[in-house]
Amino acid sequence: MTSKEKEDIREKDEINLEDAEIEEVLEELNEHNEEVSHQQFEEMREALAKAEDEVLRSRAEVENVRRRAENDIASARKFAIEKFAAEVLLVRDSLDQARKIDLDQENSEILEKMKEGLGLTMKQLDTAMEKFNIEEISPEAGDRLDPEKHQAMGLVEIEGIESNCIAQVIQKGFSIHDRLLRPAMVMVAK
């Protein structure tokens, strides 16, 4: 065997040896990757389970907040008029007292007290309405018809009042916080 052939054989053995080492290293690398992949998979599974739990808890919290808000709104609607009702009850009590007066007697003193009581009752009602920003809409004869605040009930011919102006107020109107509750019902001049 020539030296060149011996050298070639040595190189092939080294290459074979290197191939074996490479295969061994690759095998170890694959085992390591499987272990890392399994470990990463478990970590990802745990992270996913944690995220799902957080999403469920968040949904439950949002649902609870929504329910509380609905209950608060329902309660606010239900009891929003409570303070006004308490004020109106004072007026009702005064009217009940007035109803107990015997009007069959022809006594001017009783009628005078009745008139005074009705005045005080109206004052109580006006105070209650003022507390809750309920304002009276009471146009005067001769005022221009305002369709935003007045409802024309009919047309009448009256001298001295321009056409499309109020001739007579049938019923006063009311607004609350500048929002119309009831328009004033009026007769309008032709």
Strand order in the sheet with 179-182: 134-137, 173-176, 179-182
The pLDDT assigned to 61 comes to: 95
Nearest to 139 by CA among 153, 128, 150: 150
The pLDDT assigned to 88 comes to: 79
Predicted confidence pLDDT, tens digits, the chain (190 residues): 666 665 665 555 555 556 667 677 677 777 766 666 777 778 888 888 898 999 999 999 999 999 999 999 988 877 777 777 777 777 877 787 777 777 666 677 777 888 888 888 888 888 888 888 888 898 999 999 999 999 999 999 988 899 999 999 999 898 988 889 899 999 999 8
Task: Mention every residue, 6+ apart, whose C-beta is less than 8 A from residue 128.
Answer: 84, 87, 88, 90, 91
The pLDDT assigned to 146 comes to: 94
Nearest to 152 by CA among 124, 137, 171, 126: 171
The pLDDT assigned to 27 comes to: 77
φ, ψ at 154 (rounded to 5°): 175, 170
Structure tokens belonging to residue 171: 């019923």
The pLDDT assigned to 168 comes to: 93
The pLDDT assigned to 62 comes to: 94
- Say what the pTM is: 0.54
